Amino acid sequence: MSPDTGVLFRPFQIKSLSLKNRIVMAPMTRCFSPGGVPGENVAAYYRRRAEGGVGLILSEGTVIDRPASRNHPGIPTFHGDAALAGWKHVIDAVHDAKGVMGPQIWHVGSVPVSDTDWLPDGPIESPSGLLAPGAPRGQAMTEEDIADAISGYAKAAANAKRLGFDTVEIHGAHGYLIDEFFWEGTNLRTDGYGGATLPERSRFGVEVVKAVRAAVGPDFPVILRLSQWKPQDFSVKLAKTPDEMSAWLVPLREAGVDVFHCSQRRFWEPEFEGSDLNFAGWAKKLTGAATISVGSVALSGEFIAAFGGEVSQSAKLDELLRRMENEEFDLIAIGRSLISNPDWANKVQSGHATELQGFEAKLLGQLV
């Protein structure tokens, strides 16, 4: 018998954002935007997920106006007339299919990608010129660079609203620029943007959120994506206790975050010993904000192993449904399973979850 998936299809409202269900398309970089401009193929790809019933689409990471904000020539920018016209076409196509969408605003910091030797026009930048402890990459940002980056996030958010997007997500996770400030392993600064404690190292993130909030006004929902883990080191925990997590997240919440998007590789893994709450569960409990969870929903294997060629079979939804019934978090993001099943939401809602396809990396070779 197929499980009762009704909890996934309850509407959700926050500020000006109304969602018909709790299913979010996770941001996934696809590198199909030559010259940084998303074209017809990108619009059709997102439109297809809207037609497939997903409640909220978060775009692939799309970068702010800094010389080295991206690390691959196929990553879309979120600045410049041509790219913004491309994004306007994307949101119009999604709205036409009754979808709801926000761009994920990004700066890669000093993180490289392995499948290209392409280099950006300007110098690679990061808080202290590091990719990881003991691994130099890029140059340390000056306070002027920092101010310009903050203004880049704010301008991108203002453009998201102007183009008609329904929300905006700031990418503060996965070892990229904002996260490089959070992490003691990559932020050795001795000015006001560094420090021994996580709240001190959060100043950059807090200033980005404040600038974005000021740019979009009080009613436009702002999502912030965070992760404890980094691709540079899966074992890192920025916050080792609930108290440390509270000291990290509450200032970000007060700066203007409406929704924390708490990235885990496996959503069912407890964040701290002694409770089975996951990261999104703790973030909700500690801040009162709405939260999105993510990580290996409907799949047997996690996404980094998938990049290495591991094939994931489709997996049951029972544990997800249990946690959502308990209101541990508000929304659930689906990544790879939405690449292999554009109609994920419609399939699950109509009782056909057992027909969901698994995932393998070769699917990333084309944008469909």
Ligand X SMILES: Cc1cc2nc3c(=O)[nH]c(=O)nc-3n(C[C@H](O)[C@H](O)[C@H](O)COP(=O)(O)O)c2cc1C
User: What DSSP state is assigned to residue 76?
Assistant: P
Residue 289 C-beta: closest distance to ligand X, Å: 18
Q: Which residue in the set 204, 229, 248, 303 belongs to the binding site for ligand X (CB under 6 A)? A: 303
Q: Closest CB to ligand X among 204 and 344? A: 344
Count Cα atoms within 13 angstroms, Cβ side, for 318: 4
Residue 143 C-beta: closest distance to ligand X, Å: 27
Q: Which residue in the set 55, 102, 295, 342 belongs to the binding site for ligand X (CB under 6 A)? A: 295
Element holding 46 (H helix, E strand): helix 40-51
Lookup result for tokens 């006004």: 217
Residue 86 C-beta: closest distance to ligand X, Å: 17
| Contacts with 81 (C-beta within 8 Å, 6 or more apart), sequence order | none
Write the single-letter amino acid at 106.
W
Q: Is 33 in the site for ligand X (CB under 6 A)?
A: no
Q: Is 232 in the site for ligand X (CB under 6 A)?
A: no
The residue whose Cβ lies closest to ligand X is 335
Site for ligand X in 160-179 (CB under 6 A): 171, 173-174
| Contacts with 273 (C-beta within 8 Å, 6 or more apart), sequence order | none
**Contact call for residues 263 and 233 (beta carbons, < 8 A):** no
Candidates 82-90, 95-103, 332-340, 349-357 — which segment interacts with ligand X by CB under 6 A? 332-340
Q: Which residue in the set 28, 37, 163, 206 belongs to the binding site for ligand X (CB under 6 A)? A: 28
DSSP 275-302: ----HHHHHHHHH--EEEEESSTTBSS-
Q: Closest CB to ligand X among 71 and 128? A: 71
3 state DSSP class of 14? strand
User: Contacts with ligand X: how many residues (CB under 6 A)?
Assistant: 24
- Pairwise CA distance, residues 235 & 165, whole Å: 35
Q: Which residue in the set 5, 69, 71, 104 belongs to the binding site for ligand X (CB under 6 A)? A: 104
- Cα-only R_g, the chain: 19
Give the footprint of ligand X on this chain (CB under 6 A): 26-29, 60-61, 104, 171, 173-174, 225, 263, 294-297, 299, 302-303, 334-337, 364
